[in-house]
Structure 1
Amino acid sequence: MSTPLIIKDPLLLLRARKDDRYLAKDVKAPKLVGHAKWSDYIYKIGNKAGMRILEVGSREVTASSTAREKFSEAEYVGFDYYPGHNVDVVGDAHKLSSYFKEDEQFDIIYSSACFEHFAMPWLVSTEIAKLLKVGGYVFVETHFSYSAHERPWNFFQFSDMALKALFSPALGFECIDVGMSNPIVGRFSALADKYLRYRRVTGLYCHSEFLGKKIKDVKDFDWAKVNLDEVVDGTKYPEPE
């Protein structure tokens, strides 16, 4: 049973115990950068003199950004597809490095609620690697299970393993923290195919988070030449029973 024991309300505890049935036992929540605390963690490690911070997808869409205030001691740059509040550089994230000087790099590059809107996210991870210093940090939060939004530009949903694949040792990264947070209770609807109707759907989580560190430069990186073992974290596709 994974329900926190700090729940004191009897009704809430009962509901939590029922919802526990929907969790995937092999899915862990991030220890450092879960949905409710990732921003404080990034601000803490990044708000220092001399640090350069790049946020990919910085435009204020659903709420006001506090990034400039929180990074008051560092140099903060906001990048987005459209101009708007909190945007310094406008451009296409698939060509991210082309909007900066050849030798320009950052100590932290982070993105929240954007990767699901990238048509080719593997290109974006490669572009981030180009701009990140060796020893620098990358943080990505995106969706694993969530309502379709901003269509038609709602392309992918990412598990924790998907983010580890995008920022794998093949691209020069090591994983510091990864996981999925905010579980969802789900079932098939009455409109589903007959054999699926009302069936419980388990293992749904709203957010997936990844924190990584760039440990080396990989010159002339090409996804087509990557060995699969370098992106699946030593795991193996489940064998047939």
Structure 2
Amino acid sequence: MVIFQPERILLRVQIRKYSPYVKGVVLDAGSGKSNRYSDFFDNVSKYITLDIDPDNNPEIIASVEDIPLSDESIDTVISTQVLEHLKSPELAIKEFYRVLKHGGYALVTIPQCGELHEEPNDYFRFTNFGIKYLFENAGFELISIDQRGGFFSTIAQLKIRYLIDRFDLYDRKLTILFLPIFKLYGKFMIFLDKQDNSSANKKHALGWCLLVQKK
């Protein structure tokens, strides 16, 4: 059962947008339980999954803060919603830089607003200014940084996530009756964000998608 959440929908939109940059030998750093975005990438010769949790069945069991790969051995690093779970995200960013070949890209998504999750390993939220600083400080050149959602998407995500957690919706059979309501509400709020180009709306974000390059 899939409950509509603006965060997940908008994440997929961002990953798909930058999928042409994901090519060659790809490292999914902090891959989690599934390669949920790997079907977006058409120019990948090898897709390597790395995660610290062996239950996720990654090819490499390791921390992204200490990647057991050779220098300049990877064409593209992808890391989605991972850095907030690290005590020292700057170490992971330096590792991304080390393993990337010159000219290689890193595609990274991070949250700015959201509920506590995977506790107690939930340490940070990032603004666009903060994440830009961390990557440039590690030597990367910023290619693009895209905001994910605005005020309305953020409100919708928080409300839907609260209801999921408050009423254990994934464990209730009757939840299926409410799926169309969540979907309609979430899509409407995403639509409202698209109509609102005000500076007030841009001050609110679910998160960011960052494309950087190792020159």
CA contact (8 A) 1:178 1:210 kept: yes
Q: Is 1:135 the counterpart of 2:119 in the alignment?
A: no
- Bigger shift: residues 38-47 or 77-86: 38-47
Report what 1:238 is aligned to. none
Q: Give 1:45 shift.
A: 3.0
Which residues in structure 2 correspond to 1:87-102 (within 5 Å)? 87-96=58-67, 99-100=68-69, 102=70
Q: Map 1:51-130 onto structure 2 (within 5 A).
A: 51-60=24-33, 65-67=36-38, 70=41, 73-85=44-56, 87-96=58-67, 99-100=68-69, 102-103=70-71, 105-130=73-98
Structure with bigger RCO (C-alpha 8 Å, 6+ apart): 2
Q: 1:39 and 2:15 equivalent?
A: yes
Judged with a 3 Å threshold, the aligned counterparts in structure 2 of structure 1 residues 36 and 92 are, in CA distance, closer, same or farther, namely closer
Post-superposition Cα deviations, 1:47-91, rounded to whole Å, max 9, x if no partner, equal 4xxx11001111226xx6251684574111000011245611011
In the superposition, the TM-score normalised over structure 2's length comes to 0.65
Q: Distance in 2 between matches of 1:163 and 1:204?
A: 16
- CA displacement 1:125-146 (0-9 Å, x = unmatched): 1111110111000111010011
Out of 168, 172, 182, the position equivalent to 2:139 is 172
In structure 2, relative to structure 1, the CA distance for the partners of 1:111 and 1:70 (3 Å cut) is: same
Residues 95 and 104 from structure 1, CA distance in 2 versus in 1: closer, same or farther, beyond 3 angstroms? same
Q: Which sections of structure 1, spanning at least 5 residues, go unmatched?
A: 1-33, 187-200, 216-241
Is the Cα–Cα contact under 8 Å of residues 59 and 83 in structure 1 kept in the other structure? Answer: no
Q: CA separation in 1, counterparts of 2:142 and 2:40?
A: 28
User: RMSD value over aligned CA atoms?
Assistant: 2.5
What is the alpha-carbon distance in structure 1 between the residues aligned to residue 50 and residue 39 of structure 2?
13
> 2:59 corresponds to which letter in structure 1?
D
Stretch moving more, 201-210 or 136-145 = 201-210
TM-score (structure 1 length as normaliser) = 0.59
Cα deviations across residues 181-240 of structure 1 (Å, max 9, x unaligned)? 112356xxxxxxxxxxxxxx973311211111111xxxxxxxxxxxxxxxxxxxxxxxxx
The answer to whether the Cα contact below 8 Å between 1:46 and 1:74 also exists between their aligned partners in 2 is: no
Please name the residue that 1:229 is paired with.
none
Q: Does the 8 Å contact 2:79/2:109 carry over to 1?
A: yes
1:41 Cα shift? Answer: 3.7
Identity of aligned residues (%): 23
The residue type paired with residue 210 of structure 1 is L
Aligned residues: 159
Residues 208 and 84 of structure 1, relative CA distance in 2, 3 Å threshold: same
Confirm whether residue 144 of structure 1 aligns to residue 112 of structure 2: yes
Give distance in 1, aligned partners of 2:33 and 2:57. 6
Deviation readout 1:101-156 (Å, 9 max, x if unpaired) = x3451111011111110111011111111101110001110100111111111100
Which residue identity does 2:16 align to in structure 1?
Answer: D
Question: What's 2:3 paired with?
Answer: none
The answer on whether the counterparts of 2:141 and 2:213 sit within 8 Å (CA) in structure 1 is: yes
Amino acid of the residue matched to residue 95 of structure 1?
A: D
**2:29 alignment partner AA:** V
> Amino acid of the residue matched to residue 78 of structure 1?
T
Counterpart in the other structure of 2:207: 207
Conserved? CA contact 2:143–2:213, under 8 Å: yes
Question: Which letter maps to 2:20?
Answer: K
User: 8 Å contact 2:25–2:44 — kept in the other structure?
Assistant: no
Rg larger in 1 or in 2?
Answer: 1
The whole-number CA distance in structure 2 between the counterparts of 1:142 and 1:154 is 12
